[in-house]
Amino acid sequence: MRGVATSRGPIATPVVINCTAGWSSTVAAMAGVELPITTFPLQAAVTEPVKFFLDPVIVSGTLHVYVSQTARGELVLGASVDPYPAYSTRGSLEFTEEVAAHVLELFPSLAALRVLRQWAGLCDMTPDFSPILGKTPVEGFHVDVGWGTYGFKAGPVSGEAMAQLVATGETPAIIETFDLARFGDGRLVGEKGAAAVGH
Amino acid sequence: MLLIPCVHCGPRNASEFAYADAVLRTPDPNAAPPAVWRRYLYMRTNPAGLASEWWYHQSGCRRYFMVERDTRTNEIRAAALPPRPADRGAP
């Protein structure tokens, strides 16, 4: 690894970390690294605001749906990733229909609520629903990718471990089992901490 | 709603179908070592652009066929039946 070419000129560096989400395959391809990742859109929607009534986040693994209420009173609705891979972040009617039907099974009283907006983000899914952290076959090109539909809480500690890898050149023990080589060696990670919906 | 042009039934809503992975070249079962099989199982080009895919019409003719789809726009360029064994150069 010698550097990165950017739209504002070249940056010389012996180490690069690919910590993208949604585009980790395309960024890795720039370095000639192949990843076991497929990109799926994950949609969510928000309703018009109502008086605060819902304190916890409600998740149903059976219905594949989650509901929470924001401080402004809007209900945030989400479900599993779209049924086919894509780099498009356009919302779909199928999603709105399905998430609404499942939310109404949990909260029939919400039938008159209107959806304000919906959106999508890209999720890089791995075969074992676990992230890929650490070195790649290209010297100096590291990855912190494949978090799929989760990673908010594990993100900071993975950043700390990646910083340690950069500083010492050694892979910290806490991320050893999440290496890219696990797929070639046939030692996938059974990640039970992955999100309750989505798979 | 994404319309998938089934080669048997014509265009139908995507909700009738199951996406069934990228079209890949199957390793030679008589020669491929485990590392080649694992690459076939797990590694994907995951293109942002034109992708060759298998789709399964689960609520229709229940056949598998191949689709060329642009993953950035969901535009479908082509749909075709898989080549017959004879066309693939059977042993």
**Amino acid (1-letter code) at residue A90:** R
Q: What is the mean pLDDT of residues A190-199?
A: 56
In three-state form (DSSP H/G/I as H, E/B as E, the rest C), the secondary structure along chain B is CCEEEECCCEEEEHHHCEEEEECCCCCCCCCCCHHHHHHHHHCCCCCCCEEEEEEECCCCCCCEEEEEEECCCCCEEEEECCCCHHHHCCC
**Least CB–CB distance from A186: residue in B14, B34, B71:** B34
Q: Which chain A residues contact residue B39 at CB under 8 A?
A: 184
Task: Give the pLDDT score at A157.
Answer: 95
Angstrom distance (rounded) from CA B13 to CA A194 = 31
Count how many residues are written for chain B.
91
Q: What is the mean pLDDT of residues A11-38?
A: 96
| Tokens found for residue B33 | 């070592």
Chain A residues with CB within 8 Å of chain B CB: 23, 25-26, 29, 34-39, 83-88, 90, 92-94, 127, 183-186
Task: Give the pLDDT score at A114.
Answer: 96
Percent of the residues in chain A that have a pLDDT greater than 70, as a whole number: 95
User: Any bridge partners for residue A125, and if so which?
Assistant: A38
User: Is some CB atom of chain A closer than 8 A to the CB atom of B35?
Assistant: yes
User: Any bridge partners for residue A79, and if so which?
Assistant: A65
Q: What is the mean pLDDT of residues B39-52?
A: 96
Task: Give the pLDDT score at B28.
Answer: 95
Model confidence at B87: pLDDT above 70? no
| Tokens found for residue A175 | 């991320």
Do A133 and A179 touch, CB atoms closer than 8 A? yes
Model confidence at A195: pLDDT above 70? no
B50-82 per-position pLDDT tens digit: 999 999 999 999 999 999 999 999 999 999 998
Tell me the pLDDT of chain A averaged across its residues.
Answer: 93
CA distance A129 to chain B (A): 12
Do A88 and B72 touch, CB atoms closer than 8 A? yes
- For CA atoms A27, A30, A31, A33, give the dihedral sign: positive
For chain B, the C-alpha Rg in angstroms (whole number) is: 15
Q: What is the mean pLDDT of residues A11-40?
A: 96
B3-26 per-position pLDDT tens digit: 999 999 999 999 999 999 999 999
Task: Give the pLDDT score at A191.
Answer: 64
Q: What is the mean pLDDT of residues A26-55?
A: 97
Task: Give the pLDDT score at A151.
Answer: 83
| Tokens found for residue A160 | 């700390």
DSSP conformational letter for A142:
E
Task: Give the Å distances, CA to CA, from A198 to A79, A83, A125, A128, A194.
Answer: 7, 10, 10, 13, 9
Model confidence at A197: pLDDT above 90? no
Do A197 and A80 touch, CB atoms closer than 8 A? yes
Angstrom distance (rounded) from CA A154 to CA A10 = 32
Do B2 and B74 touch, CB atoms closer than 8 A? yes
- For CA atoms A20, A26, A31, A34, give the dihedral sign: positive
Strand pairing class (A58-60; A132-135): unpaired
Do A16 and A4 touch, CB atoms closer than 8 A? yes
ipTM value: 0.90
Total Cβ atoms within 10 A of residue A44? 17
B26-37 per-position pLDDT tens digit: 999 999 999 999
Task: Give the pLDDT score at B86.
Answer: 60
Confidence band of A193 (pLDDT split at 50, 70, 90): low
A130-157 per-position pLDDT tens digit: 999 999 999 999 999 999 988 888 899 9
CA distance B19 to chain A (A): 6
User: Under an 8 A CB cutoff, do B71 and A87 touch?
Assistant: yes
Q: Which chain A residues contact residue B38 at CB under 8 A?
A: 183-186
Task: Give the pLDDT score at A199.
Answer: 47
A111-133 per-position pLDDT tens digit: 999 999 999 999 999 999 899 99
